[in-house]
Structure 1
């Protein structure tokens, strides 16, 4: 047991939202490394009032090791597991950016060198299922980096710098540092400093946009994202074709649709990209199955709703998991909910 602190302790707490991709990221550029993607991507950031990660970080000279508790359970931070390595990478990067902590009068209360030498205790929790295809790691690592930035009094040397660090924890975490419609640019530089998130339009641009989340299975997925995308990169010709020929023109069309608040164009592109992502999973060898029968029922119901209304008013998307996110506008949400609930009772609903 560690003794009660005898030296000053510095504590910061922050929240960060999740984001749901409308143009998917799937596959790492192993040649470049640094958790960079094989293609750019785009997402919509959800409201923190509904889904978020909350992280508290304490730093003290009395702590003997960096420790992490996730949803009440202590996680390994010293081993060779993927997340332990990524956590250490984020901590090292943020410690390297530490500045003096000052009080309200501007007096230094702890130098950057001293502060960066302190071990930290991190307590984080999600308000939604972890590892179920709802981008929990995106919210978690974005929150970690944002909280460390406050703890270490960090100022970005260039816009988007923090997103390049969050990316090294979880690729899509870089997009959760911004609200609204966010693009993750894959970049080209060998040091990956240009592989960052860019806010295309803030949340005030399309205030009528809503997300209905159907929690079909809150359990952990059978194939973790990191493992699945690595297998896809190695075995799926469709994934390579998608990255080389499909994503960039689709991303440009999606950005134009969002800027114009053109839901029909936005919705069609969202569904098409979700379908192609899961097609690459099936094209992977051995195939990866993230959708289940209830997921496919949600897809059928969404298309049936649009057919009933005579145009696209609802757009499904699935990340690496069975749970559906259905985008719509506020005016159509209640009717969509009634239609989905009448068609299937094998899911729970969250509104965002």
Structure 2
């Protein structure tokens, strides 16, 4: 191959990264620029077979500018958080090259990048799309530029919760104490294989963009909520210890109670914000009622809910209860379809509900309240897609659907 052709050759890598759902919530920053949180948090990584971001990064001498396409639309590459991730990966790559890292291909460090990213779930609807997106961006850039080691601190600078999507299983984001954020990192508590019985149901109540974005919502809460300060200083530290213990012991009742209490308190801080922020809607409130009545009917905690900054419920339960609870949801939130498209993801067996259970719950059905359910489980962290046919960019560096 002639030297020029070799230099002009496009280098391309595609990776996927998961969504994570916090069970001990992060809400509020002590440093906006570095995205340093006012409290630690803990999340569960969801399986990429059902919820993931896919990102392709291409590097070529022929590219005139850095460019990015998100879900089929070109976006502004100058976004400060995006630039922060790009800058940091390039800095680490140059450092490795200057340190003489063996086998590092340094030809592309001064070249422009093209980035194409797609989600297989609704964006900005409270399903942690930015977490999966920035985790995938940072992981893919690291593969392209040969950067190794701790990456969660870079992902954090894109989106705080993205640092937790750098790992599978159960992940804590340690808030850290330094001003430079070097100790504010994610750490895996247990891998995805730790608790195979635990399963997750995402109840999509709304796929619309949420009315108040997380970034602006957090800023207002930090400025105006007394409850937020109390939560960060006096409540979360103890809950983190209890939650890690519950996960390690696979103690579902303890895990479930902590998860629901923390979700409730997070949304209480949103109400304590001035003016108040409403992420939950009528459907969300009905799901909360449903969960508590279902648990009360059985006299034990079989299911738990959590809500991020949006109306969609994430339900945790054990494998043996999935089928019945899905059909409970289907009964009390009758869908427009006959069930074919209502349940997505992992297969769910049919279960007939007893009249005693329906009457025991005793709620009025809310038709069309839940659009669909995604059935999933705990999953792994980011990974490289080896099949080149899966690249989102064509050989000229433009998205394939534009070719």
Fold equivalence (TM over 0.5):
yes
2:89 is aligned, of 86, 94, 98, to 94
Counterpart CA distance in 1 for 2:24 and 2:288 is 17
- CA drift at 1:347: 3.0
State the alpha-carbon separation in 2 of the partners of residues 41 and 110 from structure 1: 37
Distance 1:107 1:201 in 2: 32
Residue 113 of structure 2 corresponds to 120
CA positional deviation for 1:65: 1.1
- What secondary structure is seen at the aligned counterpart in 2 of 1:115? coil
The correspondence for 1:276, drawn from 265, 272, 283, is 265
The match for 1:349 is 373
Aligned pair 1:318/2:342, yes or no? no
Cα contact 1:100–1:153 (8 A) shared by 2? no
Per the normalisation by structure 2, the TM-score is 0.80
Q: CA deviation at 1:344?
A: 1.4
The equivalences for 1:7-86 within 5 A come to 7-30=8-31, 33-78=33-78, 84-86=79-81
- CA shift digits 1:98-149 (9 cap, x unpaired): 26999xxx996842xx422111010001111111111000000000011011
Residue 340 (structure 1) shift: 1.4
Matched, 1:216 2:209: no
The higher-RCO structure (CA 8 Å, 6+ apart) is 2
Pick closer, same or farther for the CA change 1:100–1:229 going to 2, 3 Å: closer
Q: Could you list the runs of 4 or more consecutive aligned residues of structure 1 that deviate by over 3 angstroms after TM superposition?
A: 99-102, 106-110
**Contact 1:101–1:108 (8 Å) recurs in 2:** no
Distance in 1 (alpha carbons) for counterparts of 2:263 and 2:282:
16
Q: Is the 8 A contact 2:104 2:146 kept in 1?
A: no
- Partner in structure 2 of residue 225 of structure 1: 214
Name the SS of the counterpart of 2:172 in structure 1: strand
Instruction: Summarize the Cα distance change of 1:192–1:46 in structure 2 as closer, same or farther, 3 Å threshold.
Output: same
Give SS of 1:146's match: helix
3-state SS in 1 of match to 2:279 = coil
Change (3 A) 1:65 1:275: same
TM-score between both structures, scaled by the size of structure 1:
0.92
Alpha-carbon shift at residue 6 of structure 1 (Å) = 7.9
Equivalent-residue separation in structure 2 for 1:326 and 1:130 (angstroms):
19
**Pairing 1:186–2:175 present:** yes
CA distance in 1, matches of 2:174, 2:86: 23
1:191 deviates by 1.4
Partners of 1:330 and 1:267 lie apart in 2 by 14
Give the Cα–Cα distance (whole angstroms) in 1 for the partners of residues 317 and 168 of structure 2: 18
SS in 1 for 2:108: helix
Larger Rg: 2
CA shift, 1:339, in A, is 1.1
Matched residue of 2:8: which SS?
Answer: coil
For residues 169 and 276 of structure 2, the distance between their equivalents in structure 1, rounded to whole angstroms, comes to: 33
How far is 1:304 from its partner? 1.1
How many residue pairs get aligned? The number is: 334
Distance apart, 1:309 and its partner CA: 1.6
